[in-house]
Amino acid sequence: MISVRRRTLVLASAFLLPLLAVWYFFTPSYLDIYVPLPSYHGDIWNHTNHSTFSYTGRSGVEYVVRRDGTAYTDVVGWQNASDGLAHFDRWLAERGWERTEMYPEGDPVLPESRFLKFGQTFAVYTQPDDRSGFNGTVRGAMGRVTVAVWPVSDESDVSDCRVAGFNVVVVTTKPSLLKAFADALDD
């Protein structure tokens, strides 16, 4: 005969374990990468937003962290957007990321990228071993970093067209478990 205490423990476990599994499955998991860049105020990042992004007709969501700011040329030393992307290439490569050919027409989580030039003013990065699908051909299955850098003109004289700085946006995405599973089955 099972004691009342043991029966209560079994019932509580039967209720709590599925509840914890559901909580874990639906808890957002953001890929939060902070790239330090010098500024007049010690840091260029003006805004940081956490949100989700979903594709029409697809399961799951991507958890998105967006940081944006302005990097002034006299502080960071960049002369053009390529210098800015080169900085991010080095910084991300030191942490195991590499530039990829994903979203050459623009990353959907970074709307500005549709108006920028792939490889010159924006780039997408993934981990080298981060692949999905049965053949392992889809890159960025568990996250990606998209960086955009474009010039800001000197406001004092518009006709001069001197670059005073650069708008910089870093967006990281990480799929929910449901999206990662659905994407793996789609490949």
Note the pLDDT tens digit of each residue in 44-72: 898 999 999 988 888 888 999 999 999 99
Burial of 82 (0-12, 13-18, 19+ CB in 10 A): middle
- At residue 30, the pLDDT reads 87
Q: Compute the average pLDDT of residues 3-25.
A: 72
Which of 38, 64, 62 has its CA nearest to residue 166? Answer: 38
Region 159-175: mean pLDDT is 85
Question: What is the average per-residue pLDDT within 126-137?
Answer: 67
Where are the chain's structural domains?
Answer: 28-186
Q: Average of pLDDT values for 83-111?
A: 93
| 2-6, 19-23, 144-148: range with lowest mean pLDDT | 19-23
User: Which is nearest to 97 in space by CA: 88, 108, 86, 107?
Assistant: 88
Which range has highest mean pLDDT (3-7, 125-129, 181-185)? 125-129
Supply the pLDDT for residue 99.
Answer: 93
149 neighbors 84 (Cβ within 8 angstroms): yes
Neighbours of 142 (CB within 10 A): 17
pLDDT class of 147 with cuts at 50, 70, 90: very high
In whole angstroms, give the CA distance from residue 57 to residue 104.
Answer: 22
Give pLDDT, residue 43: 80
- The answer to whether the beta carbons of residues 127 and 151 sit under 8 Å apart is no
Instruction: Look up tokens 């890929």; give the residue.
Output: 31
pLDDT at 11 over 70: yes
Q: Find out whether 163 and 70 touch, Cβ atoms under 8 Å.
A: no
Rounded to 5 degrees, what are φ and ψ at 66? -120, 125
Predicted local distance difference test score (pLDDT) of residue 21: 66
